[in-house]
Chain A
């Protein structure tokens, strides 16, 4: 594992000058997951290789005990660093894996005081812009490359987005 970490650090070190040339104002949105991954989370989820066996998830992930996970063969990891997903800071990102293969990503968003628009409206608009799809009748189901993106309102204005491969969507209950 030390070798993996060292290799990842070397990759980061090599690419560091490129990041500093990024001119995103105030580095807003250019923090957390995007740096080790070299791309936004949703772009990473859209990559075919993300869903293949033995994928290396970039960034910091930690074991996570999901009370909703009833299947002992499914391991849940939580992203332990900030991530903007669909342009909005996520409060929690988890990955569910079985046999070293990602089954699903679950992203939870909570409304912040600085946001004027309803969180679900903002996410719907942004996912529509990302995928180029309207989201169907309920504006909550999108397809992008070979993934499904499902959007669901939670309690207290929170929103849960699940991302899974189109062929074998697995939903944990």
Chain B
């Protein structure tokens, strides 16, 4: 018996069959879910049609804010975007973003030691790709809207400020945004005011501090087993991109009302050529805090007591921590067993257990703290990997022992 696929000849006919099958699958998918063009980019009436709403994936989301993906990438303006995503608030489609070019998606994850080589090998080609993509998208938008658009500056902080072009597209408003070597995207909004703001709700800027505190505090829920959870943190998937830090930020900040996507933060931080090398993620965190009219105070330690206070006030905490797949296995498998039997507990950290925690040689990774259970001594955290990685558990001692930066939002 030998099952080595790599050494078994599939045969020319087999390969052709595979190719035809994959193409056929893509066609079936596209035919089952044709993106209604150009109507969906002009008419908000389409956005409310049940068939259109039901096509976005994943169908269900536990959070109030959800990013859902159109099941295929339709041809738009003669291009195929990386992704067509719908921004849902409740079950209502609030905006559609066409991500035509994103450096992180284009290059995938590139380790720091390969960043310089990746840049050297690809810079000219990617610059040219960015240029032609931006030109094609702008030409397409001008044709769609029969206008040249008008420029607008959004945001307060230099790092996150966006020079955008606004277009009236039927009953929708389109916002074009591009950063050389980074990003080309267009977002279509129902609401013109929202299109002209970086805030999810432009009236947020006028809400009194004490009212905001009251609103946020109400988001904290206690469940039967003593878990205290922020259940409304949206989940934005980082994919195979060096975006954990900016995904954790966008998840937290969208919950707090700042309407920027993971790719916006990545572009602002300068995560280029697939790598975080030389990027300014920490600075982008500070800028995001200021944009949302709050502070993201940074500490080099994780303090369980302080994190609990923040969470009780409805404020998610972001941690940057040492991460190893060997140790992540414990959190993954515990989450799976906990889902079947909520009575099980993580073992207390003894010397042997501590020896298996990732140290300074390990990878860096960002997670969002979304809750805790004081009785069980557990921190509840969420990863930007998908719904299956929501509300995982870790003993607080381990979080304290592996975190090297904690970001506490403060109003």
Query: A interface vs B, CB < 8 Å?
Result: 1-2, 4-6, 8-10, 13-14, 16, 20-29, 36, 56-63, 75, 77, 80, 84, 86-88, 97, 100, 114-118, 121-122, 124-126, 128-130, 132
Contacts and interface: CB of A to CB of B under 8 A. Distances in A.
15 contacts: A1-B2, A6-B11, A9-B18, A13-B18, A21-B239, A23-B385, A61-B3, A61-B4, A62-B4, A84-B325, A87-B325, A87-B327, A116-B359, A125-B353, A126-B333
A contacts with B: majority SS: mixed
A122 B356 contact: yes
Contacts, number: 139
Given A2-B9, A23-B238, A130 B385 contact: no
Given A116-B355, A129-B337, 20 more contacts: A6-B10, A20-B240, A21-B237, A21-B239, A22-B385, A23-B384, A23-B385, A25-B323, A26-B242, A56-B3, A61-B2, A63-B2, A75-B1, A77-B3, A97-B1, A117-B356, A117-B357, A121-B355, A126-B326, A132-B344
Contacts of B385: 22-25
Interface residues on B, range: 35 or more
B5 interface: yes
B128 interface: no
Contacts of A36: 5
Given A9-B18, A87-B330, A2 B6 contact: no
A63 B1 CA distance: 7
B196 to A, nearest CB: 32
A95 to B, nearest CB: 10
B352 interface: yes
A137 B90 CA distance: 52
Contacts of A128: 347
Given A25-B385, A114-B361, A115-B326, A129 B1 contact: no
Contacts of B325: 28-29, 84, 87
B280 interface: no
Contacts of A6: 10-11, 14, 17-18
A1 B8 contact: yes
A58 B8 CA distance: 14
B334 interface: yes
B352 A59 contact: no
Contacts of A126: 326, 329-330, 333
A75 B3 CA distance: 14
B353 A23 contact: no
Interface in B341-366: 344, 347, 352-353, 355-357, 359, 361, 363, 365
A131 to B, nearest CB: 9
| 8 tightest Cβ-Cβ pairs between the two chains A and B | A87-B329, A23-B385, A6-B14, A26-B109, A60-B4, A117-B356, A117-B355, A129-B330
B303 interface: no
B3 A60 contact: yes
B266 interface: no
Contact of B240 (A26, A61, A77, A115): A26
Contacts of B244: 25
A69 to B, nearest CB: 15
A63 B238 CA distance: 40
A59 B109 contact: no
A13 B333 CA distance: 28
* Residue from the set A20, A118, A122 with the largest chain B CB neighbour count within 10 Å: A122
Contacts of B333: 87, 126, 129-130
A28 B323 CA distance: 11
A100 B9 CA distance: 23
Given A77-B1, A121-B352, A2 B10 contact: yes
Contacts of B6: 60, 80
Contacts of A1: 2, 8
A119 B44 CA distance: 58
Contact of A9 (B5, B361, B365): B5
Contact of B3 (A16, A22, A57): A57
B299 interface: no
Given A6-B14, A62-B2, A129-B333, A23 B326 contact: no
Contacts of B191: none
